[in-house]
Amino acid sequence: MTIAKAKVLGFCGGVRRAVQRIETELAEHGPLHTLGAIVHNAHVVDALAAKGARMARSLDEVPEGGTVAITAHGAGEEVYAEIERRGLRLVDTTCPIVRRAQQAAASLVEEGYSVVLYGEAEHPEVRGILSWTRGQGIATQSPDVAIPIGEKGIAVISQTTKSPAMFAEFVQELVKRYTGRVPEMRIVDTTCPETGRRYQAAAELAAGVDALLVVGSRSSANTRKLAETCRATGVPTHHIESAGEIDDEWLASGKRFGVTAGASTPDDVIEDVVRRLRGRAGGSSEEAK
Ligand code: SF4
């Protein structure tokens, strides 16, 4: 049996940076609260909790004088103001790519555009970015909603994890509907290349294997989407959270296995899966080319 890992898999730069920052803070300054889950992966959340990082659903759960960490998804302008008002110590792990989207939203509004944010309205990153538009923006995945029009026109940006192809399709639909009806349309591509790289690497991996294992939390939207992308290739795909879910029947059904993982899956969980596959089948492991 051969086991091949995707060329790009697991933690993205933004999540890796956020987790490292929290670990450094815990080591140097002691316990803190994270505002929401630092990453959508129970293994990572539990490991950080054991070191003193508790999850708070709101600032009300952070004790007076405590430390609060904003996650890689970022937060709204009002959250920063409230942290300051309460005198809490802030550890900001907002991913630089999310920060760029927040800054784009704020400056487009300042220039006189209303902002259309292509994304899932309830996603924490989207709620955060939208807040930087100071009420001059909307988040939607449908071009058929009423869009407020700024003095200068409308500007379109994206949730970072949306695929560039889907964002382009959405923009095209808006262009069809609004050309000639608004003074100007601005498009700012705020998608993150990390997500696309994982899809691309998984598709390349699928071409040379009999089955794919997608490792990552079921609560992680990006891991679920990665599993969908793998299934769409026609190669049998199993989404597992950890090595303990590997089924011997899968191993009997093929000779070449491909392993990939979502952007929130840590290295040790991936390595555990590869080790378990090797151990059960006595196979060799290789990186996908
Ligand atoms: S997927 Fe991209 S935008 Fe999101 S945290 Fe990772 S690097 Fe940042």
Are the beta carbons of 41 and 47 closer than 8 angstroms? no
Among the listed residues 25, 125, 194, 241, the single catalytic one is 125
- Cβ–ligand 1 distance for 194 under 6 Å, the answer yes
Residue 284 has pLDDT above 80, yes or no: no
3-class secondary-structure state, position 231: helix
Task: Tell me the β-bridge partners of 261.
Answer: 215
Reported as a single tens digit per residue, the pLDDT across 6-56 is 999 999 999 999 999 999 999 999 999 999 999 888 889 999 999 999 999
Q: Whose CA is nearest to atom 5 of ligand 1?
A: 14
pLDDT band at 250 (very low <50, low <70, confident <90, very high): confident
* Catalytic-residue membership of 82: no
User: Which has more pLDDT, 230 or 283?
Assistant: 230
**Higher pLDDT residue, 145 or 195?**
145
Q: What is the dihedral of CA 11, 99, 146, 154, to 10 degrees?
A: -130
More confident site: 285 or 123? 123
Q: Is the pLDDT of residue 252 over 90?
A: no
Residue 240 has pLDDT above 90, yes or no: yes
Q: How far apart are CA 280 and CA 101, in angstroms?
A: 45
CB 97 near ligand 1, within 6 Å: yes
Three-state SS annotation for 171-200: HHHHHHHHCCCCCCEEECCCCCHHHHHHHH
Distances (CA, A) of 10 to 199, 202, 213, 222: 12, 11, 13, 11
pLDDT in tens, 119-178: 999 999 999 999 999 999 999 999 999 999 999 999 999 999 888 889 999 999 999 999
pLDDT band, residue 288 (cuts 50/70/90): very low
pLDDT (0 to 100) of residue 92: 98
d(CA 83, CA 85): 6
pLDDT at 280: 77
The DSSP string of 23-82 is HHHHHHH--EEEES-SSS-HHHHHHHHHTTEEEESSGGGSPTT-EEEE-TT---HHHHHH
Whether the CB of 160 sits within 6 Å of ligand 1: yes
Of the pLDDT bands very low, low, confident and very high (cuts 50, 70, 90), residue 282 is low
The answer, yes or no, to whether any atom of ligand 1 lies below 6 A from the CB of 25, is no
Domains recognised in the chain with CATH numbers: 2-10+193-287 (3.40.1010.20), 13-93 (3.40.50.11270), 97-187 (3.40.1010.20)
User: Per mean pLDDT, which of 90-94, 217-221, 222-226, 263-267 is the most reliable?
Assistant: 90-94
The finding on whether 15 has its CB within 6 A of some atom of ligand 1 is: yes
Do the beta carbons of residue 2 and residue 258 sit within 8 Å?
no
Asked if pLDDT for residue 233 goes beyond 50, the answer is yes
What is the best residue among 11, 12, 22 to mutate for testing ligand 1's pocket, by most ligand atoms within 8 Å of CB? 12
Closest ligand 1 atom, CA of 97?
3
Q: Could you tell which of 39, 95, 190 is best to mutate to test the pocket of ligand 1, judged by most ligand atoms within 8 Å of the CB? A: 95
Which residue has better confidence, 127 or 283?
A: 127
For 57-101, what is each residue's pLDDT tens digit? 999 999 999 999 999 999 999 999 999 999 999 999 999 999 999
Given the CA of residue 98, which atom of ligand 1 is nearest to it?
A: 3
For ligand 1, atom 8: residue with the closest CA: 14
217: tokens are 């939390």
pLDDT for 286 equals 53
Cα 150 to ligand 1 centre (Å): 29
CA distances from residue 200 to 5, 40, 194, 217 in whole angstroms, order as listed: 13, 22, 10, 20
Q: Which residues 6+ apart lie within 8 Å of 27 measured at CB?
A: none
Tell me, using a 6 A CB cutoff, whether residue 13 lines ligand 1.
Answer: yes
State the pLDDT at residue 289: 40
